[in-house]
Chains A and B, each alone.
Chain A
Amino acid sequence: MATIMMREAIRQAMQEEMERDENVLLMGEEVAQYNGAYKVSQGLLDTFGPERVIDTPISEEGFTGMGIGAAMAGLRPIVEWMTFNFSLMAIDQVINNAAKNLYMSGGQMRSPIVFRGPNGPAEYLASQHSQALQSLYAHVPGLKIAAPSTPYDAKGLLKSAIRDDNPVLFLEAEMMYSWKGEVPEQEYLVPLGKADIKRQGTDVSLVSYSKPVRMVLQAAEELAGEGIDAEVVDLRSIRPLDEFTLYNSVRKTNRCVVVDEAWPFASVGSHVGWLVSRNCFDYLDAPVELVSSEDVPMPYNHKLELAAQPSVEKIVRAVKSVLYR
């Protein structure tokens, strides 16, 4: 198996799907001639030409709406947002058109479209460009959301997302693009709505998705050194959510810490925490803990920026609290 970077895994997924289906196209700011702001679409313009790899103006609402229209007309666009922070311009198109077409047309109109780009904080980008906005979209019925944490999952999930007949938001992260991982040469898919146990354990279930999974695995290693055997559940998809794997894990370990880099209020993490409390109540030995970002705009000061986000230390502390240690 080849070891490749996340950006390369995402590019492979797009390239393979564009080769497989001529209706698949990529559009967004700087995706063509510049090869992508984060070099994710490197070489795609050369391979597929300007009709299928399209540079757009700096106008998120315009090109997002155009993508949704193209999807309604039968194409399968991939819309790249340079960051999810910019998707706020386009959120009306996503929520009021993409998410509702199928329902409001009585099943006659589909929106097979993928919206992808980096989400969540990177570094030194201050309040407006350091936001994890997935819960805004997770709130809305009609949208699917994939949130991989490894190159393998990213490639398999993105291919599934492109083939899905529903609008799928695909969460990447600037910090993750250079993360490396093994990806098989032969074709494979990772289905939407299937969580993955990234580490088996017996004492506590650490539930996360996307970028924080790596930090959660580090915390699990640190905990192992203290004799605490943590299981790490990578949700991989936020919608649909693999409740089966989630509950099975918590029913085994009797304790749950959810790690989500978004804010705590009305977040994916807080919702998962409620689901676990509701559905594993009789199996819980402690209240479900949530490790999230602090409930503040992201500070620019780097020390404060780090302090505002989940950390290995915060996760370890939360695990100890549910273990009464």
Chain B
Amino acid sequence: MAEKMLMLALSPTMEEGTIISWSKKEGDTVAAGDIVCEVETDKATMDYESLQAGTILKILVQEGNSARVEQAIAIVGESGENIDDLLKEITKAASEPAVGETSGGETAVRETAPGADVAREAAPAAAAARETAPGANIAGETTPAAAVREPAGKERLKASPLARNMAAEAGIDLSVLNGSGPDGRIVKQDVETVMEHGVPFRSAPGISSTAGTAAVERGTAFGSGSATGIVEEHIPVSRKRAVIARRLAESKFSAPHYYLGLSVLIDNVLESRDRLNSRRAKGEEPKLSLNAFLIKMTAEAIKRHPIVNAGWEESEIHVFGSVDIGLAVALEDGLITPIVRNCGAKGIIQIDRELRELIRKAKSGKLTPEEYTGATFSISNLGSYGIEEFTAIINPPASAILAVGTAVKQPKELEDGSIKFHNTMKITLSCDHRVIDGAVGAEFLRTLKAVIEDPLNALL
């Protein structure tokens, strides 16, 4: 009974081989173990030892030609045997589309047109590649061939659907969490823990990092003996941190900043605030914040200098209609600038109410993008940290930001020679010179000083 002599995989990675020379010719008899031909593989040239015994009835692949693994290279049988049927079968198999080819891209792993037998093998290989690819996102970016070479480099992230949603909403990168569920599944409680206490050490489940800035990997994951041994900690950059870095760098490097500073008397503001607060019934809303006053007064000054409420858009300058003031709010893992919209048209009480709600949402990670993008002016107040004065980086698309320092008591000599103490505060305006020239910025700041020192000026 005639049978096919197949190209064998002579090395573990061999997919096809070239027949350098045949040591048997048609009509020769072969015994199992006889060398029948010499094959060049991807690694070396090797002898092909026959697994079959009989007479070589037909050589199918001539010297110099190549054959894929499992492809027939010769027919072995009894001398004089009719091999027409077998030849037909072989020809038919070669002309039929390979199984794997119909499934499109996956067989691209194979570079040349495969023979039917080989392709049948290729298809499951590609399917296996799909399965070992480490998760949907990564699979999309990895070719099956690469996935075959490096199966399951990273373990699939397991998280409950709820935990995924909560993390996405809070901007937490799930991959840095330890899952407490079965098989390391990240569940609601894990996300809540992080929202409350910051991200735990990945290598030490259960320990919370009170600094809470990002995940910290240490120890074995990087190998203590490596060249990076002097690095104490590797802190992966969270998505939020990456956005902060990109936006601030963009602003600082592309917008030519200059700074104007002055000192303002805030006795009147403080006194007005006390008066308003004492007028509010007990148990009513909380006390009005100084920031609400600053936002309102800044809006009034901006109304008188509309160019301060504008943005650089390369070919044109956009002057914004509504004064939308963002207030920088520090978070455990970065900062965010929630925005009070249309401050020019709102009173202090309304601004204060909105601001409080925005800050509450900011602290719990609940701000929607509309609530923190697109400020036309920003304020950063580090007064509560005792900072006397500082400069801030402009928050695009705005062209200016006001840096507010702490209240300081300053002595002042009166005409009668006595000394009176006043509350003062340093404010520093950062301007984008492309939009706001020095004199314009100075005029604005002078108006702002006048409004803060005597709020009546806002009514003029």
A285, B163: Cβ atoms closer than 8 Å: yes
CA distance A281 to B159 in the complex (A): 12
Q: Is A284 an interface residue (CB 8 A)?
A: yes
CB-contact partner of A324 in B161, B164, B165, B181, under 8 A: B181
Task: Point out the residues of chain A lying under 8 angstroms from B189, CB to CB.
Answer: 324
Q: Which chain A residues border B187 with CB–CB below 8 Å? A: 285-286, 324
Instruction: Give the complex CA separation of A324 and B187 in angstroms.
Output: 9
* Sample of 22 A–B contacts (CB below 8 Å): A254-B162, A254-B188, A282-B161, A282-B162, A282-B164, A282-B165, A283-B161, A283-B162, A283-B165, A284-B161, A284-B162, A285-B161, A285-B162, A285-B163, A285-B188, A286-B160, A286-B181, A286-B187, A324-B181, A324-B182, A324-B187, A324-B189
Count of chain A residues with a beta carbon within 8 Å of a chain B beta carbon: 8
In the assembled complex, which residues on chain B have CB atoms less than 8 Å from the CB atom of A285? 160-163, 187-188
A285 to B160, CA, bound (A): 5
Residue of A nearest to B182 (CB): A324
Which A residues are within 8 Å of any B CB, using their own CB?
Answer: 254, 281-286, 324
User: In whole angstroms, what is the CA distance A284 to B159 when docked?
Assistant: 10
Q: Which residues of A contact B424 (CB under 8 A)?
A: none
Query: Interface readout for B164-195 with A: 1 if CB under 8 Å, 0 if not?
Result: 11000000000000001110000111000000
Q: Is the CB of A281 within 8 A of B161?
A: yes
Write the chain A residue with the least CB distance to B187.
Answer: A285
Contact check, B180 vs A324: say whether CB atoms are below 8 A apart. yes
With a cutoff of 8 Å between Cβ atoms, the chain B residues found around residue A284 in the complex are: 160-162
Query: In the assembly, what is the distance between CA of A281 and CA of B165, in Å?
Result: 10
**Prevailing SS type, chain B contact patch:** helix
**How near does chain A come to B454, taking the closest CB pair, in angstroms?**
54
Contacts of B180 in A (CB 8 A): 324
Interface centre among A282, A283, A285, A286 (most CB of B within 10 A): A285
Closest to B162 in A: A285
Complex Cα gap A286–B182 (Å): 10
Minimum C-beta distance from A318 to chain B (A): 14
| Cα separation A286 to B161 with both chains bound (whole Å) | 8
Residues of chain B lying within 8 A (CB to CB) of residue A282: 161-162, 164-165
B136 CB, min distance to chain A CBs, angstroms: 15
- Cβ < 8 Å to A, chain B residues 125-143: none
CB of A16 to closest CB in B, whole Å = 46
Residues of B within 8 A of A283 (CB): 161-162, 165
Report chain B residues within 8 Å CB of A286.
160, 181, 187
CA distance A284 to B161 in the complex (A): 6
For the complex formed, measure the closest distance between the CB of A251 and the CB atoms of chain B, giving whole angstroms.
Answer: 10
Q: Which residues of chain A have C-beta atoms less than 8 A from B163's C-beta?
A: 285
For A281, list chain B residues within 8 Å (CB). Answer: 161
Min CB gap B162→A, angstroms: 4
CA distance A254 to B161 in the complex (A): 10
Please measure, in the bound complex, the distance between the C-alpha atom of A286 and the C-alpha atom of B160, giving whole angstroms. Answer: 6
Q: Which residue of A lies closest to B179 (CB)?
A: A324
Q: Which of B162, B181, B187 has the most CB of A within 10 A?
A: B162
Measured in the bound complex, the distance between the Cα atoms of B162 and A185 in whole Å is 46
Looking across the interface, which residue of chain A has its beta carbon closest to that of B163? A285
Q: Which 5 A-B pairs have the closest CB atoms?
A: A285-B188, A285-B162, A285-B160, A282-B161, A324-B181
Per-residue contact bits, chain B 140-165, to A (CB 8 Å; 1 contact, 0 not): 00000000000000000000111111
Q: With a CB–CB cut-off of 8 A, which chain A residues contact B161?
A: 281-285
Given contacts A285-B161, A285-B188, A286-B181, 13 further A-B contacts (CB under 8 A): A254-B188, A281-B161, A282-B164, A283-B162, A283-B165, A284-B162, A285-B162, A285-B163, A324-B180, A324-B181, A324-B182, A324-B187, A324-B189
Residues of B within 8 A of A324 (CB): 180-182, 187, 189
How far is it, in angstroms, between the C-alpha of A167 and the C-alpha of B180 when the chains are bound? 49
How many Å lie between the Cα of A282 and that of B188 in the bound state?
12
Complex Cα spacing A254 to B189, Å: 12
Q: How far is the CB of A241 from chain B (nearest CB, A)?
A: 22
Q: How far is the CB of A13 from chain B (nearest CB, A)?
A: 42
B165 contacts across to A, CB distance below 8 A:
282-283
Q: Considering only CB atoms, which chain A residue lies closest to B186 in the complex?
A: A285
CA distance A61 to B287 in the complex (A): 78
Distance between A291 CB and nearest chain B CB, rounded to angstroms: 18
A281 to B187, CA, bound (A): 13
CA distance A145 to B319 in the complex (A): 66
How many whole Å from B83's CB to the nearest CB in chain A? 55
Which residues of B sit under 8 angstroms from A254, Cβ to Cβ?
162, 188
Nearest CB to that of B165 among chain A residues? Answer: A282
Query: Once bound together, how far apart are the Cα atoms of A321 and B164, in whole Å?
Result: 19
Q: Could you tell me the distance in whole angstroms from the C-beta of B188 to the nearest C-beta in chain A? A: 4
CB distance from B170 to the nearest CB of A (A): 15
Chain A residues with CB under 8 Å of B160's CB are: 284-286
| Distance to closest chain B CB from A246 (angstroms) | 17
Q: How far is the CA of A139 from the CA of B162 in the complex (A)?
A: 31
User: Please, which residues of chain A bring their CB within 8 A of the CB of B182?
Assistant: 324
Write out, one digit per residue, whether chain B residues 302-321 have a CB within 8 A of any chain A CB (1) or not (0).
00000000000000000000
A254–B182 Cα distance when bound, in Å, is: 17
**Closest-CB distance, A254 to chain B (whole angstroms):** 5
